[in-house]
Every structure is written in structure tokens, then in C-alpha cells.
Amino acid sequence: MPSIFTKIINREIPSYKIAEDEDFYAFLDINPNAKGHTLCIPKKEVDKIMDLDEPTYLGLMAFSRKVGKAIEAAIDCKRVAMTVIGLEVPHVHVHLIPLNEMKEATFQHKVSLAPEEFSEIAEKIKSKIE
């Protein structure tokens, strides 16, 4: 069965898209640690990051860097954290989290956003993609 993220890539499930190219897709995390928390994923469905082929791994890092720079430009934060962690969804995902406090990196601290806020944040970040 396709992962929930493959369904997002295929538009079977909606998402607040940030960026997309032939091989990668970025979208806002629906249960964010902080405003602007974004996931970057390869379109190739692979469970664990260490199992990615090297070109896909390196491509994912370059794509995540581009998205991370846009987050830094769009969201008020001290820096953008990058982490690959989690046991829930068996599809590689890089978390990009705008940090002001370390608790935002813990996945215990969540923020609740209205749909309009998600849309506004997505538009802001998208406008800074180079």
C-alpha cells in the first residue's frame, strides 16, 4: 500500500505545498513543532534514509537546503533545524523546523494552526524559494 506521503505527492491527500521538482516534494507538517515546520521527501518511496541510493540522498539534502533557506528568510526564527527522525511514516522525510527555543526540536511541543494560517505560512515560504 502506498505511504500517506506518496498519496500526498499524488494529490490523493491535500497538503500545503512548499516546493516540488521531478524527484522531491516539500510541504508543511500538519502537526507542527513550530510555525513553518516543513517536511521534504523523495518521490521515490523508501522507508529509511540510509537505504536511499546516494544520488537521491544527496539530492534530498540539496533540495532541503533550498527549502530551509526559504524558511529562514520567511519565518522569524534563530535558525532552521534539520532532522531525520520518527517511526510513524515509513517514507523518508527531512524535518525542517524554525527554532526559537530548543523545546521546538523535541516533538513534545506542538502548535495549533488554523487552515488560513497554514496557507499564509506556505505562501510566505514559497515566495522566498530561489
Check residue 17 and give left, alpha or beta (phi > 0: left; psi -120 to 50: alpha): beta
Interface positions, 25-54, toward ligand 5GP (CB under 6 A): 27-31, 39
Give the H/E segment covering residue 5. Answer: helix 4-9
Q: What is the DSSP letter of 39?
A: E
Nearest Cα residue to 40 out of 84, 100, 4, 99:
84
The least CB distance from residue 5 to ligand 5GP, in Å, is: 8
37 in catalytic set: no
Stretch near ligand 5GP under the rule CB under 6 A, chosen from 17-25, 55-63, 65-73, 81-89: 81-89
State yes or no: residue 13 binds ligand 5GP (CB under 6 A).
Answer: yes
Residue numbers of the site for ligand 5GP (CB under 6 A)? Answer: 4, 13, 15, 27-31, 39, 86-89
